[in-house]
Structure 1
Amino acid sequence: MKKIVVVNGHPDKESFNGAIARSYIQSALDAGAEVRYIPIGELDFNPNLQYGYRKRMELEPDLVKALEDLKWSEHQVWIHPLWWLGMPAVMKGFFDRAFLPGITFKNNKEGLSEGLLKGRTGRIITTAGDLSLDAYEETYRSCGLVQLQKGILEYCGVSAVQSDFIGPVYELNEEDRKKWIEKIKGLAVADSGVC
């Protein structure tokens, strides 16, 4: 049974991102995977890394549980909207507070960083309100994806990270949204290892 954690970075659980997360989870469960869910917007934690790395802040219970779920997983699915070409503030705050030295990465004897989430694969599902994939890739060089995939997940050891882009969401009608949900269900089945 594949162990999958689904992380929703949208602060509004009734958003299209929430519908994507729910569809993915149900399809993965139906395919036989074990699934845990981290709705970042519903967690109780201070997203401000107040002292930087100078002084460690105590992790709130919701962050401790989220880290346990991430370490338990074999596959991580990160769902988020693209706001100002990046992730929502609460999602960035989650990384700032939870992805700390000694928890998700460490420096080895040569002073190089070593990811502590090795052995896990990932998928990033990004939604964008008024941006097309072409504009995101050509004009903005997929900057939000680079931050999350390269700067965070791969830095911390997650490998084989795949990405899916949905946008512009503002132009999607109900039928378009249903088609995307069906595609998400297919991704969940594939990620669960079902042929």
Structure 2
Amino acid sequence: MKPLIIYAHPDVAGHCSLIRDEVLSQLGEKKIAYDFVDLYKEQFDPVLHENELYTAGNRDVSPQAKRYQELIAGTDKIIFIYPVWWNSTPAILKGFFDKVLTSGFAFKFRKSGIPVAFLTGKKAALFVTSGSPTLFYKLFLGDRGVKVVARDTLGFCGIKAREFHVGSARKVKKSHNEQSRGMAAKGLRYLRL
């Protein structure tokens, strides 16, 4: 199975792009084929439209979201690369979760209301950046930009996730190249790639 990389940052020359490039480079060195989704370049529409709202009885899934579901179904390793903005994910990634991890695909509710996860057996590496130093982000801000994704979103669907965090990511420095290289290696080891 090819790993799936989901990239959610509009900047082409920032910390997330350093991590992306390093992940792609290390996969290339290992001759590992992969699928790559750049939500901004693919102009993903993060707005959940009424016809897609499953709680209202609608079951429409856009062709783009359907393709992403097929990519997720076809892998057991997912890599997310995104910044933490306002102690949360970028809106485009939140919309991705809303539109792609749908009831019937990623989970379902039993008649009792208890959820059943459908994406068990999958692992995700979350490569995240924040302007705050890592210690401050985790201790004082509570690491919510990652916990909501790792536990409350992916975990709800059965995906086990681990965070790889770059703090103080305000300006790119040469030292960040080495940091990105090491972080990419750790994340790929976690996924056994």
Question: TM-score with structure 1 length normalisation?
Answer: 0.86
Q: What is the aligned partner in structure 2 of residue 134 from structure 1?
A: 135
Q: What is the aligned partner in structure 2 of residue 61 from structure 1?
A: 63
Deviations 1:48-82 (A, max 9, x none): 11334315363332222111111111111111101
- Worse overlay, 142-151 or 35-44: 35-44
**Distance in 1 of aligned mates of 2:2 and 2:126:** 16
Give the superposition deviation at 1:188: 5.5
Q: What is the aligned partner in structure 2 of residue 49 from structure 1?
A: 48
Report if the CA contact (8 A) 2:83-2:90 is conserved.
yes
**Distance in 1 of aligned mates of 2:172 and 2:41:** 27
Q: Which amino acid aligns with 2:103?
A: P
Q: What is the aligned partner in structure 1 of residue 121 from structure 2?
A: 119
Query: Alpha carbons of 1:192 and 1:82: their partners in 2 closer, same or farther (altered >3 Å)?
Result: closer
Unaligned runs of 5+ in 1: none
Stretches (4+) displaced over 6 A: none
Q: Which amino acid aligns with 1:166?
A: V
- Worse overlay, 110-119 or 88-97: 110-119
Q: Describe how 1:32-47 pairs up with structure 2 within 5 A.
A: 32-47=31-46
**Distance in 2 of aligned mates of 1:13 and 1:72:** 28
Query: Alpha carbons of 1:13 and 1:39: their partners in 2 closer, same or farther (altered >3 Å)?
Result: farther
Identity within the alignment, %? 19
- Worse overlay, 90-99 or 4-13: 4-13
Question: For 2:108, what is the secondary structure of its paired residue?
Answer: strand
Q: Which amino acid aligns with 2:143?
A: S
Question: TM-score with structure 2 length normalisation?
Answer: 0.87
Give the superposition deviation at 1:187: 2.9
Q: Which amino acid aligns with 1:165?
A: H
Q: Which amino acid aligns with 1:139?
A: F
**Distance in 2 of aligned mates of 1:16 and 1:76:** 19
Give the superposition deviation at 1:172: 4.8
Q: What is the aligned partner in structure 1 of residue 152 from structure 2?
A: 151
Q: Tell me the matched-pair count.
A: 190
Query: Alpha carbons of 1:192 and 1:124: their partners in 2 closer, same or farther (altered >3 Å)?
Result: closer
Report if the CA contact (8 A) 1:11-1:90 is conserved.
no
Q: Which amino acid aligns with 1:11?
A: P
- Worse overlay, 12-21 or 78-87: 12-21
Give the superposition deviation at 1:84: 0.4
Unaligned runs of 5+ in 2: none
- Worse overlay, 76-85 or 14-23: 14-23
Report if the CA contact (8 A) 1:28-1:192 is conserved.
no
Report if the CA contact (8 A) 2:45-2:92 is conserved.
no
Question: For 2:56, what is the secondary structure of its paired residue?
Answer: coil
**Distance in 1 of aligned mates of 2:112 and 2:59:** 27
1:187 matches 2:186: yes
Q: What is the aligned partner in structure 1 of residue 72 from structure 2?
A: 70
Report if the CA contact (8 A) 1:5-1:69 is conserved.
yes
Q: What is the aligned partner in structure 2 of residue 16 from structure 1?
A: 15
